[in-house]
Every structure is written in structure tokens, then in C-alpha cells.
Amino acid sequence: MAKGIGLSDPLHAYLVEHGSAPDAVLERLSARTEEAAGPRARMQIAPEQGAFMTLLTRLIGARNAVEVGTFTGYSAICIARGLPNDGTLLCLDVSEEWTAIAREAWAEAGLEDRIELRLGPAVDTLAAIPAGGQFDLAFIDADKTSYEAYAELLHPRLRKGGVLLVDNVLWGGSVIDPERQDDDTQAIRAFNTARVSDERWDRVMLPISDGLTLLRKR
């Protein structure tokens, strides 16, 4: 039996307000993203997910993190705020246009000294980083057809006990819709299914926003 409630807009607003609501920096970034990106602004993570990611970063004592898919920088701010003052976040993306907005927001948030941005295909960038467990936390929120490749590259670069967060794993409910057979949906289904028997990770799938899987490296 399913146990949970749907979130109406007023109930979602209540949830955000009574959790850790976004501050002025994140509010302005959200507004600018919506103005610049229109419908694509939905690519930005939800505020309650951002608050969860900040707290999780602190809870695991992360010092070095990596993010695959940055867009306009909201999730990067949330992760970077959970790091210590000498922590580092490596952001990987391919868009100069969207990450230009991110850079401005990071400066406004006073986090530019903690965040490094590398533009280019993330598969190539990750492959060029020597394996060795240097990252404590990783977040994937990029092209869905490469999720499996990103996870495979990140595993040897996460420390034992490190955490991998994977976004959009419910894909608007399309993962259980047999009529949805597009490449993105099939890739997410395959990724989710592969994790069920993947003994390298402890895992939980959370109904936060569009679905967030948390994987802990064993």
C-alpha cells in the first residue's frame, strides 16, 4: 500500500516555508533562470531538494564534491554551502550560456572560491581525473542517456562511504508508463533497474521533487 500524500501548490509552499526556505540569492537566481530559460527553468532543482542537499553535504562531512550538470548554478550553491570553508566543488557542464548565469550567482553568494567550473563533455573530464576516491559527494543531473556512464566513472573516484545523488529518477512518472519509450525514459529505467542488483552501493530512492536516488559506496 502506498503511503504518502500529493503536494498541492499551497502545501508545497508550506513545506518549503517550514523547512529551509531559499534565501534572497537563490530567489533571485530562480527568477533570473525563469526569465532567461522559460520552460527550461524546470531543469533547476526544487528548493526543498536544494535544502536537503545542503544538509546532506554537512551530515556526511563532505570536503570535496563534484556535480555533473550545473545549468544556472542553483544546485551548486546548495552543495557548496554545505562544504567547509576550505572545501571544493567541481562543476561539469557544456553550456557557456547557462553557466555564465551560474558564475554571477556564485559570486553573489560569496562561493566562487569554493567552486571550479570545467566546460566540456563530462565523460571526458571525469575520465581524465585519476581514480582514487578523492570525492566525498557527487551529484548527477545532466543528459539522461549518459547516467550509467557518469555513475561508472564516479564510483572509483568516490571514497568508501561517499555518496552519489542522482536526480530525475522518477522522470515525471514516465518510468512506469509503458507508452513512453523515448531514449531518456528508457535510459532512466535502465539505470534504476541496474542499481537494484548493484552490490557496490547502499541505495534509497526518495520521492523528492522528480525523484532523487541516494547511493552510498560500500
Among candidate residues 69, 57, 83, the one with its CA nearest the CA of residue 141: 69
Q: Where do the structural domains in the chain lie, given as residue ranges?
A: 9-217
Q: Return the number of other C-beta atoms located less than 10 Å from residue 169's C-beta.
A: 23
**Residues lower than pLDDT 50 in the chain:** none
CATH architecture of the domain with range 9-217: 3-Layer(aba) Sandwich (3.40)
- The predicted pLDDT at position 10 comes to 95
Helix and strand counts by DSSP (H, E) for the chain = 8, 7
The residue type at 113:
D
- The predicted pLDDT at position 6 comes to 85
The model carries a pTM of 0.96
- The predicted pLDDT at position 5 comes to 78
Per the CB < 8 A criterion, the answer to whether 150 and 124 are in contact is: no
- The predicted pLDDT at position 2 comes to 67
- The predicted pLDDT at position 205 comes to 97
Among candidate residues 114, 113, 42, the one with its CA nearest the CA of residue 72: 42
- The predicted pLDDT at position 77 comes to 98
